[in-house]
Each structure stands twice: as structure tokens, then as C-alpha cells.
Amino acid sequence: MQRKKRKVGRPRLPKGEAKGRIVPVRFARNDLRTMESAARARSKSLSEWVRTVLFLDAKEHYEGCLIELATRGTDGRFIAFGWITTPTVGAKPVSFEAPGPYPTRRAAVETGIAWCKGRIDLGRKRN
């Protein structure tokens, strides 16, 4: 009796867990370096970073800091998450997930931005 050959690669994901379709995209060398650097600064893979940045809901400057906020929906509820970057040279962006969930994407974005501003103000008071 002959054994079945093992297939090379990762086992198939259960139905519904696969990400979907792969979309090939080409970038100029300098653009790719910039994107890789941004992903590395946020401790994300390039793919994770691209998926998040494509769906940024808000990008706002506040007290010299940059707030980048995205949302994700689960079961009709929305959660805000993203990064706060301080103006300090060499500082890495700080990732966050704002308290939630919220019934609408807009509520998640507005509350997420307000929550970030509160964290920035709190940090300023400590210093």
C-alpha cells in the first residue's frame, strides 16, 4: 500500500476564514520602502498595514500629535483603533483600540477621536 504524499504549504483554512482574493499591485521602489518603514514603525506586517491604511476613517492633528483612526465592524457594532504619533523625533507611533463598541461607524470615529485627544491631554498634564 502506498502512502499519500503530503502537500507542501499551510493546511487549508476552515470555510469562511480565508481573507479572500489576492490583488497584485506594483509600487515604485521608494514608495515601497516608505510603506515598509511605516509598517515596521507600527509593528505590523506590510500586508496588515496596507489593509488598515486603506480603510482609515480619520486622520487628524491635535496638539502636535497625529491621530490615525480606522474602524472595524463586528455584528453591526463598530470599534475604533489606530495610532497616535507624537512630534518627538524618533518616537514610534503608539497603537490603540478605543473603548467601544458603537452602533455606527460615525459614532466609533467621533468617540475614538475624542478618546485619543483625552489621552494626549492626559500625557501633557503628566509632563
**Which residue do the cell numbers 506590510 mark?**
46
| Residue 1, pLDDT score | 62
pLDDT score for 103: 94
Q: Where are the alpha helices (DSSP H) in 1-127?
A: 29-41, 46-54, 105-126
Residue the block writes with cell 486603506: 54
Q: What b/e readout covers 37-55, taking b as 16+ CB neighbours within 10 angstroms?
A: ebbeebebeeeebeebbee
| Residue 122 pLDDT level (bands cut at 50, 70, 90) | confident
The structural domains of the chain, ordered by start, are 56-126 (3.30.160.350)
pLDDT at 17 over 80: no
List all residues 6 or more positions away from 73 whose beta carbon is below 8 Å from its beta carbon: 79, 105
Identify the pLDDT of residue 13.
79
Question: pTM of the predicted model, to two decimals?
Answer: 0.67
Model pLDDT for residues 100-110, shown as the tens digit of each residue = 899 999 999 99
Least confident window among 2-6, 107-111, 113-117? 2-6
The cell numbers describing 124, all together, are 501633557
Q: What values do phi and psi take at 95, rounded to 5?
A: -80, 155
